[in-house]
Amino acid sequence: MSIAVLGAGAFGTALALSLAREGHEICIWARDAATVDAINSDRRAPRLPGIPLPEAISASTDIATVARAGTLLLAVPMQSLHAVLTRIESPLAGQRLVACCKGVDLQELTGPTGVIAHAKPQAIPAILTGPSFADDIARNLPTALTLACRDEAAGTALQQQLSTGALRLYRTTDTSGAELGGALKNVIAIACGACIGEGLGDSARAALMTRGFAEMTRLAAKLGARPETLAGLSGLGDLALTCTSELSRNYRFGLSLGKHERFDPSLTVEGVKTAEAVSRLAAKLGIELPICAMVHEVGGGGTSVSEAITYLLNRPLKEE
C-alpha cells in the first residue's frame, strides 16, 4: 500500500527519508510551491538543510492527488490538522491516517486521532509518537516510537509498513494514552526549560519532570488510558528527551521565558496551545493539573516564571 506525507516540515520529511531508504516511493504534500520545487528540482528539504533527498521522494501542492495513498502520514501542526483534513474532499474511506503531531485541539479538546475521527469518520485513525528528533531520523540514527491504533489488524499492518532498519515501532491499541503522553510532555518541557532558564537548577527540573509525569498519568487515567502506555515511549520516554535537550522547541521556548529573552515567533511551539487546551479540559473534568495551569498562565503572559514557581512551591503539602 502506498505512503504519502502531508506536511513538508522537518519531521514529515525525515519520515519520508527513512521510508525511502527502505525502497518506498514517497510523495510529500506542501502548501508552498517553492518548497515543492526545492524537493523536486534541487533534491533538498528547506527544513532539513544539508541532507540530500533521494529520487524516491517527490512533492506536490495538489493535496487531492497526494491524499490518494493508502497510508497518509499527517505531519502538520496539531492546531492545523482539522483544517488540512477538511481541504480533502474525499472521505478517505478505509485509508490509514497516521497523525505525526502532538497536542490537544483547542476547538474539540481531543487529541489527533479524535480530530481524524471527526473529520474523516470512514478512515482508520492512528498516531505515531515518542522520543524523536527529526534530524536523528533523517540521519538514520536508531529511534524507537509508539504506533497506536485501536484497530489491531490495521495497527499491525502499519507497524510492518512503517518500521525501518533504524526506526523501530512498538504497537499499542491505546491511542488515548499515546497521544496524551506526546501532548503533555511538551507542556512539561516548557516548565523545565523555564526552570533552567531562571537558574533554579537540575534538582528543580527533576521535580518538575516527576510531578509533571504525575499530571500526565492523572489526566490520562481520567480519560480511560492505560498507565503502562504513559510509562512507555510515548509518555516517559518522550518526557525524558524533551525536558533535557535544547533540540526541543518547547524546552527552548521555556528557556527563553526563564531568561527573559525573545523567542522566534515563526517557530511552532505546540506546548503553548496544548497547555491552554489541557487547562480547559482539566476544568471540564474537575481535576487539578497545577504545572500545566502555570505553563498556560506564563505562556499567555499572565504570570511570570518566578510567580509561577512561588505558586507551585506554596501549594498545600500532601502525600506523593
278 vs 208: CA distance, rounded Å: 17
Do the annotations mark residue 234 as ligand-binding? no
Set of cell numbers at residue 245: 535537550
Catalytic residue status for 259: no
Do the annotations mark residue 103 as ligand-binding? no
Do the annotations mark residue 7 as ligand-binding? yes
**Active-site residue among 185, 259, 273, 284?**
185
Do the annotations mark residue 11 as ligand-binding? yes
187 vs 249: CA distance, rounded Å: 11
Do the annotations mark residue 10 as ligand-binding? yes
What angle do the packed helices 290-299 and 175-197 form, to 10 degrees? Answer: 60
Do the annotations mark residue 132 as ligand-binding? yes
Do the annotations mark residue 221 as ligand-binding? no
298 vs 289: CA distance, rounded Å: 14
107 vs 112: CA distance, rounded Å: 12
Do the annotations mark residue 185 as ligand-binding? yes
Do the annotations mark residue 60 as ligand-binding? no
Do the annotations mark residue 16 as ligand-binding? no
Do the annotations mark residue 248 as ligand-binding? yes
Cα distance between the two ends of the chain: 48
138 vs 77: CA distance, rounded Å: 19
Q: Which of 229, 212, 220, 232 is nearest to 282 (CA)?
A: 220
**Radius of gyration for the chain, computed over Cα atoms and rounded to the nearest angstrom:** 19
Set of cell numbers at residue 298: 506564563
Do the annotations mark residue 130 as ligand-binding? yes
Do the annotations mark residue 238 as ligand-binding? yes
Within its chain, how far is the Cα of 30 from the centroid? Answer: 19
DSSP 317: P
Q: Which of 130, 212, 133 is nearest to 177 (CA)?
A: 130
Annotated binding site for NAD(+): 7-12, 134, 249
Annotated binding site: 7-12, 31, 102, 130, 132, 134, 185, 238, 248-250, 270
Annotated binding site for substrate: 102, 249-250
Annotated binding site for NADPH: 11, 31, 102, 134, 249, 270
Q: Write out the catalytic residue numbers.
A: 185
Annotated binding site for sn-glycerol 3-phosphate: 102, 130, 132, 185, 238, 248-250
